[in-house]
């Protein structure tokens, strides 16, 4: 049975018992996952295959040389862990360099590049919990690169928006522009250099004894980080004035750790650690837990106001505390305590909005000097998968071609995620050699009574935890099926510094999708929210995918967002 993307899909039946399912930001990536399932792969193999296809199919949003944080549940061992998939600043990076040579700014291009985290993340997932070889899972991506795929409208629009940047880098323009302009919808996009990069890694794997699957995948990884591919990456970035060196690449490994989590009405929600914005979700859930949200009424003025203010409190803690725990102390035990949540909840006034970012843990508010506005940036995709054994995969790949050039001959970028660092030394996510920026991509996974309930996630920058939270509440509190929960109108607060440089701050800003009644917006404005309306179906509000397990019926129910090209399928 296949579940297609599109609005008003809540009447679709759930996927059959003892089955598998996948959902992702593009139908061809979802089909790649299904192909891997049919070939005998598990959810990790299928998720990695789909994720690498996303890196090919959504070059405006993702790259194999970008980031890919992952959360995995392995049914047999019972382990649930996260793989950061997030690279580090090079050892020569410094704030002072940007002060002295870039007028205190963080320019587009290779100077904001960090070590690519995605390849290590995909391959680490495969070696630890997969069943297939790298050659097997990367084959669909190779075919998409060599045979091409049809350019779809949003890919055209995003490349057109980034046209000037892409055109300024010949290595990028040669692949992603046609006659100097964005490829038109209906044309075919080829990425032959990227296909050759994949084939070089496959060749390294094939040179190892075929009976040792893990050693072969490790050889493919070494070709990227320690071999000629790594040398090409480092040589280009160094020549362009960036900090990533051969030594930085050779020493890199993703962090593997227990996810950050909380319990909400008996449901355990796991997210990535405070090197990402993931903890915003459990912090907000803790604030909401002792409130009867159903009594407030779904998407009523009271509901939107209260959930928004709870998120604003969590975002204020993100601004004050979140950063790479290897370099800054993040008091997660305190931030996730129910006592702390109760104190924060008590700060919410039901008749008056904060109007600006509230102080973190009672601290003062943001200074006037930090207030600025910049446009939202296209960013990121998502993929999830579950197999019949109960393994689950949740990943949020990212880093597109708009801010960082393609490495000549390789067809991929060197992650431009440095754009999520700060040039203020006292900020918890300030730039520092060897340090990870604070990442927006943040996959999640939920469990009920110790049993897998749902992997879920979305693209959307700072909107990610908000869209995920609202979808989760729609399912667990309001009893919606997965597709209904995803399609329900959303709202988003932006009353905090944006995660992307130059970290725009919009005091009191609250966006509402157009399907929310006008009178709801008027009431929220009367409480002090700065209301801005989105179109009725906008991808800026997220592009959520999720798969829910019904253990009583022994079924899987998958959903994908109608706001963009997301697609869910199962058998």
Confidence at residue 210, expressed as pLDDT on a 0 to 100 scale: 79
> Which pLDDT score, from 0 to 100, does residue 378 have?
52
pLDDT 10s digits, 90-100: 999 999 999 99
**CA–CA separation, 403 and 399 (whole Å):** 8
* Of 4 and 514, the one with more pLDDT: 514
Q: Is 337 exposed, middle or buried (0-12, 13-18, 19+ CB in 10 A)?
A: middle
pLDDT, residue 375, reads 46
Q: What is the pLDDT of residues 445-460, one digit of tens each?
A: 999 999 999 999 999 9
451-506 confidence digits (pLDDT tens): 999 999 999 999 999 999 999 999 999 999 999 999 999 999 999 999 999 999 99
Averaged pLDDT, 160-188: 97
- Residue 364: pLDDT above 80? no
Q: What pLDDT is stored for residue 554 in this prediction?
A: 87
Could you report the per-residue pLDDT of 204-261, keeping only the tens digit for each? 999 998 789 999 999 999 999 999 999 999 999 999 999 999 999 999 999 999 999 9
For the sheet with 260-264, list strands across it.
260-264, 267-271, 444-448, 451-457, 545-550, 555-560
Q: What number of residues does the chain have?
A: 571
Mean pLDDT within 432-450: 97
Q: Which residues contact 444 (CB under 8 A, 6 or more apart)?
A: 71, 269, 270, 271, 278, 281, 394, 455, 456, 457, 468, 472
Copy the structure tokens of residue 398: 């990212």
Cα 478 to Cα 483: distance, rounded to the nearest angstrom? 13
pLDDT at 359: 85
For position 5, what pLDDT does the model report?
38
What domains can you pick out in the chain, each with its CATH number? Answer: 21-256+380-420 (no CATH), 260-376+449-570 (1.10.246.130)
Q: What's the mean per-residue pLDDT of the chain?
A: 94
For residue 22, the SS3 value is strand
pLDDT of res. 362: 42
- Nearest CA to 129 out of 518, 389, 321 is that of 389
Lowest model confidence (mean pLDDT) among 241-250, 278-287, 374-383 = 374-383
Q: pLDDT grade, residue 361 (50/70/90)?
A: low
Percent of the chain past pLDDT 90, that is, above it, reads 92
**Half-sphere exposure for 154 (CA within 13 Å, toward CB):** 18
Please give the angle made by the CA atoms of 143, 144 and 149, to the nearest 5 degrees.
Answer: 140
């Amino acid at each position: 049975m296949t579940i297609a993307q599109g609005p008003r899909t809540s009447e679709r039946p759930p996927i059959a018992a003892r089955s598998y399912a996948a959902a992702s930001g593009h139908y061809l990536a979802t089909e790649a996952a299904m192909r891997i399932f049919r070939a005998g792969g598990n959810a990790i193999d299928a998720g990695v295959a789909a994720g690498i296809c996303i890196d090919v199919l959504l070059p405006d949003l993702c790259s194999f040389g970008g980031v890919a944080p992952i959360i995995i549940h392995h049914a047999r061992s019972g382990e649930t862990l996260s793989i950061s998939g997030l690279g580090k600043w090079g050892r020569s990076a410094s704030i002072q360099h940007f002060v002295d040579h870039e007028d205190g700014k963080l320019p587009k291009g290779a100077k904001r590049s960090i070590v690519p985290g995605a390849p290590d993340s995909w391959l680490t997932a495969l070696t630890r919990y997969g069943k297939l070889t790298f050659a097997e899972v990367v084959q669909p991506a190779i075919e998409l690169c060599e045979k091409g795929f049809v350019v779809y409208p949003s890919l055209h629009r995003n490349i057109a928006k980034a046209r000037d940047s892409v055109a300024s880098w010949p290595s990028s323009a040669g692949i992603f522009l046609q006659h100097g302009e964005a490829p038109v919808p209906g044309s075919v996009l080829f990425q032959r250099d990227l296909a050759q990069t994949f084939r070089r890694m496959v060749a390294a794997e094939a040179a190892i004894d075929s009976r040792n699957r893990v050693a072969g995948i490790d050889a493919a990884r070494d070709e990227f980080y320690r071999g000629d591919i790594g040398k090409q990456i480092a040589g280009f970035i160094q020549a362009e004035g960036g900090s990533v060196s051969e030594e930085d690449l050779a020493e890199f490994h993703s962090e593997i750790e227990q996810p950050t989590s909380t319990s909400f009405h008996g449901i355990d929600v796991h997210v990535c650690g405070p090197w990402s914005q993931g903890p915003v979700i459990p912090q907000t859930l803790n604030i909401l837990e002792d409130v009867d949200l159903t009594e407030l009424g779904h998407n009523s003025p009271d509901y939107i106001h209260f959930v928004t203010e709870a998120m604003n409190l969590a975002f204020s803690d993100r601004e004050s505390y979140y950063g790479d725990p290897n370099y800054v102390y993040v008091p997660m035990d305190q931030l996730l305590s129910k006592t702390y949540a109760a104190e924060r909840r008590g700060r919410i006034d039901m008749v008056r909005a904060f109007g600006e970012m509230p102080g973190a843990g009672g601290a003062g508010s943001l200074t006037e000097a930090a207030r600025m506005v910049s446009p939202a940036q296209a960013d990121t995709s998502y993929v999830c998968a579950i197999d019949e054994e109960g393994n689950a995969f949740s990943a949020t790949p990212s880093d597109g071609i708009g801010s960082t050039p393609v490495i000549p001959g390789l067809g991929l970028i060197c992650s431009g995620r440095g754009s999520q660092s700060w040039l203020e030394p006292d900020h918890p996510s300030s730039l520092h050699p060897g340090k990870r920026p604070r990442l927006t991509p943040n996959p999640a996974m939920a469990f009920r009574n110790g049993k897998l309930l749902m992997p879920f996630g979305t693209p959307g920058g700072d909107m990610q935890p908000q869209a995920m939270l609202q979808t989760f509440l729609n399912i667990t509190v309001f009893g919606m099926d997965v597709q209904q929960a995803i399609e329900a109108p959303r709202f988003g607060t932006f009353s905090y510094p944006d995660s992307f440089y130059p970290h725009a701050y919009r005091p009191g800003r609250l966006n509402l999708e157009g399907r929310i009644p006008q009178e709801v917006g008027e009431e929220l404005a009367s409480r002090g929210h700065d209301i801005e309306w989105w179109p009725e179906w906008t991808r800026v509000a997220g592009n959520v995918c999720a798969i829910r397990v019904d253990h009583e019926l022994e079924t899987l129910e998958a959903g994908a967002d109608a706001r963009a090209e997301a697609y869910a399928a199962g058998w």
